[in-house]
Structure 1
Amino acid sequence: MKKLGFLSFGHWANHPAYQARTASDTLLQSIDLAVAAEELGLDGAYFRVHHFAKQLASPFPLLAAVGAKTSRIEIGTGVIDMRYENPLYMVEDAGAADLISEGRLQLGISRGSPEQVIDGWRYFGHELKDGETDADMGRRKALEFLEKLNGRGFAEPNPNPMFPNPPGLLRLEPHAPGLRDRIWWGAASNATAIWAAEQGMHLQSSTLKYDENGKPFHIQQAEQIRLYREAWKKAGHAGEPRVSVSRSIFAITNDQDRLYFGHENDRGDKIGMIEADKRAIFGRSYAAEPDELIKELAKDEAIQEADTLLLTIPNTLGVDYNVHVLSSILQDVAPGLGWR
């Protein structure tokens, strides 16, 4: 069995072929798709976070709305760029969204991806400490976020408050019990996956990672997952860690599918550069008729290693078509791979 969710980047553009032409379209359709995905039997609704782009950015209003409209499906992010965040304010936002969803939040955070603007986090009022890189800053903020999620008091109370205080130091409210155990780290390297395990975070691994040994993408990703699990065990954490991978997977079942994605199946892994000096490997997309798709996906080592698979969706094509995409995977592909 494998948990299956969708991952939406939440694009919009004023394009005649798009169903999501405005930010409002994308936000409202994201809620509708999450509701429909729950009805289909999908396990998760996840949303990407990008700043300074016509894509989803501020996740917590959306997560709260999805949580209020659904009752079972996990809701989450993949991922929130911690360089832009105030960790304490984020604790409050995340706590509220988790309580609204009654404990279904699965929050993916990370250092973040290459940005639309140069050092965009500076426009949000954040600066590096002496000798710190932006990656260091992202991890520092992540650790502060994790610490404050634990619900222990840390702030000295006012002796003359507007409202009576409980005894002792004060914590942030609202506190969401158990949320600290549902935080995921998006890792692009083996080293950061190991670090995430040491901190007791679950692992999100996407369709790109640093090219660390020249092997095919899915093999490198599977190696990363195994290193992560070994580090989790070595750290002595209670419980089992969760691992998600994301993939673009399309079952070709009609002419519309073939028109949109029939050209995707010939594509293999790609090598590129991110941040000017980091060689990265980008995983392939999968698009084929269901029987062929089952054969191809069975060879993907990282998918086999992960307990959760996030299906990246073409959100601009609208709710109805994406319901069709997800339904085809659930009905025509997942059973053949033992996922359902």
Structure 2
Amino acid sequence: MKKIGFLSFGHWTPSPQSQTRSAKDFLHQSIDLAQAVEELGADGAYFRVHHFARQAGTPFPLLAAIGARTSRIEIGTGVIDMRYENPLYSAEAAAATDLIAGERLQLGISRGSPEQVIDGWRYFGYAPAEGEDEAAMARRHTEVFLEMLTGQGFAQPNPRPMFANPPGLLPLEPQSPTLRDRIWWGAGSDATARWAAEKGMNLMSSTLKDDETGEPLHVQQRKQIETFREAWAAAGHTRTPRVSVSRSIFPIIDERDRAYFGHDRNSRDQFGNIDEKTRAVFGRSYADVPERLVEELAKDEAIAAADTLLVTIPNQLGVDYNAHVVESILTHVAPELGWR
């Protein structure tokens, strides 16, 4: 059994070929799609976050709105770039969103990916400390964020406050008591998966990963998952961690599917450099008639190892079509593979 949700890249463009032509379109359509997939029986609605781009820059208003309009599905991100985050403010916003949603938030955070501008986090007022690089800064922000979610007091109270204080040092408010266990780290390498386990975060592995062995993405991800679980056990955590992988999966059921994704039937993993330092492997798309999809997906070692599958969706094709994609997976693929 697996939890199955969608991951929206959240693009909008004024192009007449897009059904998502503005930020307003994206936000309202995302709420509608989350409601639709909840009715279909899916398990989650997740959103990619990027700054300086026509995508979701600040996810908490959207997640709170979805939380207020749904009752069952998990809602989350994949991922928030912690280079840009004030960890204290983020902890307050995350806790408030989680309480609105009835403690259904599954928050994916990470160091982030290459951005639209050079060192965009500097415009937000952040810079690495002496001896740090931007990745270390993101991890430092993350450690503070995680500490804030524990609810421990740390701030010296004013002796003449506007409102009466409880005794002792003060924590941030509001607090959502279980949120700390529902934070995920988007790990691009085996080393960061190990770090996530040591910090007690769940593991989120996307369709892009550092190429560390030259093997197919699903094999490298399966090994990454094994590394994560070994590190989790060694750290002595008492709860069972969760692991998600993301995939592009398009059952070809009708002529719309064939027109949109018939050309992806023979796609393969791609290897290339995403910056001057990092060589990565990009995951293939799975697009075919259901019986062939089942055969191909059964060979995916990372999906087999994960408990959660996030299906990437082409949000610019509109709510109805994306609900159709999710329904096709739930109806024609998941039962045959034992996911449902």
Displacement of 1:124 after TM fit?
Answer: 0.4
Q: Deviations over 1:100-132 (max 9, x none)?
A: 001000000000001110000000011110011
User: Residue 88 of structure 1: SS of its match in structure 2?
Assistant: helix
Kindly indicate whether residue 167 of structure 2 is the aligned counterpart of residue 139 of structure 1: no
Normalised by the size of structure 1, how large is the TM-score?
A: 0.99
Distance in 1, matches of 2:86 and 2:228, equals 27
Distance in 2, matches of 1:157 and 1:77, equals 34
Letter in 1 for 2:309: L
Q: Deviations over 1:155-178 (max 9, x none)?
A: 000000111111111000010111
Matches within 5 A, 1:195-234: 195-234=195-234
In structure 2, the partner of 1:334 is: 334
In structure 2, the partner of 1:297 is: 297
Distance in 2, matches of 1:235 and 1:72, equals 32
In structure 1, the partner of 2:264 is: 264
Letter in 2 for 1:263: H
Distance in 1, matches of 2:239 and 2:141, equals 25
Letter in 2 for 1:307: D
In structure 1, the partner of 2:177 is: 177
Letter in 1 for 2:15: H
Matches within 5 A, 1:2-81: 2-81=2-81
Distance in 2, matches of 1:54 and 1:182, equals 27
Kindly indicate whether residue 107 of structure 2 is the aligned counterpart of residue 103 of structure 1: no
Displacement of 1:266 after TM fit?
Answer: 1.1
In structure 1, the partner of 2:194 is: 194
Letter in 2 for 1:322: N
Count of residue pairs the alignment pairs up: 340
In structure 2, the partner of 1:287 is: 287
Displacement of 1:270 after TM fit?
Answer: 0.3
RMSD between aligned alpha carbons?
Answer: 0.5
Displacement of 1:275 after TM fit?
Answer: 2.3
Q: Deviations over 1:138-165 (max 9, x none)?
A: 0000000000100011000000011111
Normalised by the size of structure 2, how large is the TM-score?
A: 0.99
* Percent of aligned pairs with the same amino acid: 69
Distance in 1, matches of 2:157 and 2:56, equals 37
Distance in 1, matches of 2:162 and 2:205, equals 46
Q: Deviations over 1:36-65 (max 9, x none)?
A: 111000001001100000111100000000
Displacement of 1:274 after TM fit?
Answer: 1.6
Displacement of 1:185 after TM fit?
Answer: 0.1
Letter in 2 for 1:270: Q
Distance in 2, matches of 1:217 and 1:78, equals 18
Letter in 2 for 1:208: L
User: Residue 91 of structure 1: SS of its match in structure 2?
Assistant: helix
Displacement of 1:338 after TM fit?
Answer: 0.2
In structure 1, the partner of 2:115 is: 115
Q: Deviations over 1:273-324 (max 9, x none)?
A: 1221211011100000000000000000000000000000000000000010
